[in-house]
Every structure is written in structure tokens, then in C-alpha cells.
Structure 1
Amino acid sequence: METRTITVPGGTLRTGSSGTPDRPAALLVHSGIAHAEMWFPLMRELDDEMFGVAYDCRCFGESTTTLDGEFSDIGDLASVLDAYGLESAVLVGESRGARLAVDFALAHPERVRGLFLLAPDVSGLDTPVADDERPLLDAVGAAEEAWDEADEADTARRVEELIAHEVRLFVDGPGREPAPERAAVREAVAGMLRLNYTQQKDTPDFVKAEPAAGRLEKLDVPVRVLVGDADTTGMRAAAEEIERACPRASLVRVPDAAHALTLERGDIVVHELRTWLRELRQTPETAA
């Protein structure tokens, strides 16, 4: 894995790449409970199939920002493509990263050859919440508010409380109890969240993209969606909406998996991504 830091307006982005540039390019965008390192094992597994590039979004991982005003996630993603000399790429995104990938594809369709979306969020989409999920979602919201309002002496404790609630919701899922076999995933997510939260107070605002909801039918590229059967009702609804609205989308449901798909079921994600990339190579407009 080769890492580098690229400069963007008002900050820097840490990136990592694997594979050789003569292979089809894939840009991987992490979820909101992780940073770029969530992708590194998958990238090593697939470096015979793709030239993979992952990066820490601004205010995540080891990326930095000095802006006092606004920044653009879409602009940062374009900067990563430019830094690696990529006119276009397949975009791979999980959760928040899937939302950004879709928003970018709608804003810059000429730069996207396909979308591989895991546990996707969709900007502007109103999704349902099941009654038995509300206590967990409310607990995360309350813990986030307490952390945001905490003074310096109380911040560390509030961060740990928030992380515990997020791990419970996103790793275990609302319908499953914590289990020993997910201990490594819980620990990995908690570690990435701790690093993220060191720089997520008093951060600049980001420029909001035009909502993707209601425009998904404009995504005229191959789209593969994966969602866990143990994810939230809202995330499963978002995945189904992408399948329904996008003319070239297909949906894979992953049994007994929650929101952190790549970390929990990396074997399935690697298999599905490898298969899909090979399918793309058989499609003339995406084979480059």
C-alpha cells in the first residue's frame, strides 16, 4: 500500500493506493464510522483486478482542514482523481461514502464508469424508521449532542459514550445482540471513530450537493448495491430505492450482516466486487 498526502484548498487529504495504474481504476470512499483504512485489506485482495485509490475525507482519519468557511466533498473527490491522473474511475462507497459517490456521479457523470455501493445513504431521501430502532437512533443522537456540548475536561468521556452507541447501532445492528465473533469489527470501528473525533469539533461546513433523491434515474452507468439484512430499515429502503430508480442497478442482500459491511463481511464484498469488475470489462463503455 503506497500512501501519500495531497493538497486541497484549505487542507490536505491522506490517500493510499494499491495495484498498478495500467489496471482499471477504482476510487474508494469510506463510511462515516471509518476512514480510508477500512478499504486497505480489500484493496490488497483485489490489486490484481484494479488500481485502487482510497482517501480520508476531510475531517476524517489523517486528513486535515484549515478552512473557516465551507468546503466541497465533491470538489475534494475530484481533486483525488486529478492527483492520480484519473480522468474517470469506478466509484466504490459505503454508507456516507456511497452517498458522496452518487452525488459526484450526478454532478460529473463523465468521470464515473460505474458505482459499487455498500449500505448506501441517498441524499434527500426520506426513509422509514422502525419502532424498535428508535431507541438506538435516539441514543446516538443524544450522545452526539452531549459530546458536541462537552467542555475540554469532559470530551474524552463523551466521545467514548458516543462511540459505544454508534458501534452498537452500526456494527451489531438494531436487531442483533453484541456477539463475540464481531469483537474485532467492533474494535476496528471504535479505533477509527476515536481518530475521526479528534478533529470533528468546530469543523467547517461543507457545501451541500443537490439532493440525489428524485434524480437517481439519471445515473446511466452500471450500479451494484449491497445491503445487509440486519441493517436499519432506512438503509435497506435506500438500497431498494436505488435498485428501483436506477436503470442499470442490481441489488444483493447480504444475510446476517449489519451496516459495516466491508469490515464484517469482507469475503462477500471482495467476491461481489471482483465479479462485478469483471462484468464491467465485458461492457464496451466501461472497459477502459
Structure 2
Amino acid sequence: MTLAHDAAGSGPPVLLLHSTVCDRRMWDPQLPALTDAGYRTVRCDLRGYGDSPVPQASYSDAEDVVELLDTLGIERTAVVAASGGGRVALEVAARWPSRVSALALLCTAMAGHEPGPALRAFGEREDTLLEAGDVGAATELNVDTWLTPDATEATREAVRAMQRNAFVAQLAGPDVAPIQAETDLSAITAPALLVSGARDLVDFRQVAARLAELLPDARRIELPWAGHLPSIERPEELNAILIDFLTIDS
């Protein structure tokens, strides 16, 4: 199936992959900045998020993304990805290195990372709330965990709406796990920017540090003010960082 998506602008392509707390609407603040900077900007919803239906059988997010690129006639693209979307981006860049020209990862997840106490406690609490059917409380848990107290109410409401939508869709569908492909991150050839937040859960700072060691051409930035979703909380600052990286590595 072709993932729900939209595109704007012209020029070198940039693909945006959302956090699994959100959907493609999280990139609303980035879309005009990237198109104004001269990029053809594509964003999509992974399965079970936003406008993409929940999976009905085994599936691969990475293969879905490559299928979308094929559909759009994009042979090679820069990829900007957040959190769970970063895990997908890493798989795409490792399995199809020639398709990815640059890789910007914001507070990224990573396959095989063993959760620490705080992340494990979050996951257990979320599971308990969802098993009890309390989607509202599970949504608020995510909003409070992934945004800093500095986030505006409009930002909190945007994340709340995206997360609730995902929970409702996924709980109504079958329990289908994605295919876990073996990937060798040393196969990645694209230059990488690793952005982490000093106010995020420690797991994501650990992942950024680990990837800085593993990837052949990586540089790391830690933002002292940032939690898990810096592109939403301070979009103008993130846009400048992203455009600078993409300009240098295009």
C-alpha cells in the first residue's frame, strides 16, 4: 500500500518521518521553512498513524517508505526523522544506502536498544492504561512525558490530538507486529546529524551517543532546552539547524 502523504516545493527532495507519538502533522512548522529554502518536501504517515490505515498483516515500515519513494519517482533523498521515525530511517539508510543522501535524526529511537528504568516504567504504565481502555489517561501520559513544561497549550493540544488519533485507530485494528529486519548500521553511507535533548529521557541521549560511534560520518548536537520533540517546541531554532545541515550536505 502507498502511505498517506503530501508534498510541497521543488528542488532536492527531503523526506520527513514522524515520531510515533505524532503523525505527519508534526512537521507543519518545518514544511514552509524547507520549501522556502528550496527543497521538495515530502511527509508521510506510517501505518496506523494519521491518514494511513492500520496494518492488517505483517508489514515493514522501511519497505513502505521505499515503496513511497518509488511511487514518487525519488531515487535519492535526504531524510529528517524523529524518535520512532528515526528507527525507520536508520533501517532505510542501512538497507538501501544509495537512496539516502543525508540523515537528520531528532531524539531518535534505535532497534535493539534496551530500555532504561524510566523508559521501561513509561511503557508499562502506558500498557496498563490502554489495557484498561483509558485512552485519555494514556494520551496525557504521552503528552506529559514527551513535552517539556515549557510547551505551549497549543503545542500540547496538537500532540494530544495526534496521539489520541493513533491510539483509537490502533486499538480498533488487529494486533500486528512489524517485521524486524536485520540491519547493519555500518552500511549507512549518508552523513548524519544526531540531535538530542538534555531534558529528554536518558535513553535517547544514549542512543545518540551510540550512533555517533557507529555511523561513519556523524556529528551530534545536544540542545540544553529540549525534551523529546524539539521540532514542535522550538521550530524556528530546529529549522535553522536542519537547513544548515541540509545545505552543507546536499
- Normalised by the size of structure 2, how large is the TM-score? 0.92
Q: Distance in 1 between matches of 2:99 and 2:67?
A: 12
Tell me if 1:72 matches 2:60: yes
Cα separation, 1, equivalents of 2:175 and 2:88 = 18
Pick the aligned partner of 1:184 from 146, 151, 154. 154
Shift of residue 128, structure 1, vs aligned partner: 3.9
Shift in alpha-carbon separation, 1:244–1:66, aligned structure 2, 3 A: closer
- Report what 1:262 is aligned to: 231
**Contact preservation (8 Å) 1:49, 1:277:** no
Q: Secondary structure of 1:46's partner? A: helix
Q: Aligned letter for 1:62?
A: D
Deviation at 1:221? 1.5
Paired residues for 1:220-239 under 5 Å:
220-239=189-208
Aligned match of 1:15: 5
For the pair 1:119 / 2:107, whether they are aligned, the reply is yes
Q: How does 1:175-214 map to 2 (within 5 A)?
A: 178-179=149-150, 181-201=151-171, 202-210=174-182, 212=183
Contact 1:59/1:203 (CA < 8 Å) preserved in 2? no
Q: Give the distance between the partners of 1:60 and 1:49, measured in 2 at CA.
A: 28
Equivalent residue letter for 1:16: D
Pairs aligned (count): 247
Rounded Cα–Cα distance in structure 2 between residues aligned with 1:142 and 1:125:
19
* Structure 1 residues 85 and 123: CA distance shift in structure 2, 3 A: same
Which of 1 and 2 has greater Rg? 1
Deviations, residues 123-174 of structure 1 (Å, cap 9, x unaligned): 0123544xxx36xx52552332331x34xxxx3xx001101111111112xx
Structure 1 residue ranges without an equivalent (≥5): 1-7, 173-177, 282-288
Query: C-alpha separation between the residues in 1 aligned to 2:45 and 2:127?
Result: 21
- Pairing partner for 2:73 from 81, 85, 95: 85
Whether 1:170 aligns to 2:140 is no
Query: In structure 2, what residue type is equivalent to 1:169?
Result: T
How many Å apart are 1:15 and its aligned residue?
A: 0.4
- How far 1:182 moved relative to its partner? 3.1
Q: Secondary structure, in 3 states, of the residue corresponding to 2:15?
A: strand
Whether the 8 Å CA contact 1:114–1:222 is kept in 2: the answer is: yes
Partner in structure 2 of residue 278 of structure 1:
247
Contact in 2 for aligned 1:163/1:193 (Cα 8 Å): yes
Residue 51 of structure 1 corresponds to 40
Task: Supply the AA of the counterpart residue of 1:121.
Answer: A
In structure 2, C-alpha distance between the alignment counterparts of 1:71 and 1:140, rounded to whole Å: 23
5+ residue gaps, structure 2: none
Task: Name the TM-score, length of structure 1 as normaliser.
Answer: 0.81
Distance 1:140 1:208 in 2: 19
The answer to whether the Cα contact below 8 Å between 1:127 and 1:238 also exists between their aligned partners in 2 is: no
Structure 1 vs Structure 2 CA RMSD: 1.7
Distance of aligned partners of 1:66 and 1:122 in 2 relative to their CA distance in 1, 3 Å threshold = closer
Q: Which residue of structure 1 lines up, in the alignment, with residue 121 of structure 2?
A: 138
Q: Deviations over 1:63-89 (max 9, x none)?
A: 11462x201111110111012110111
**1:258 Cα deviation from its structure 2 partner:** 0.3
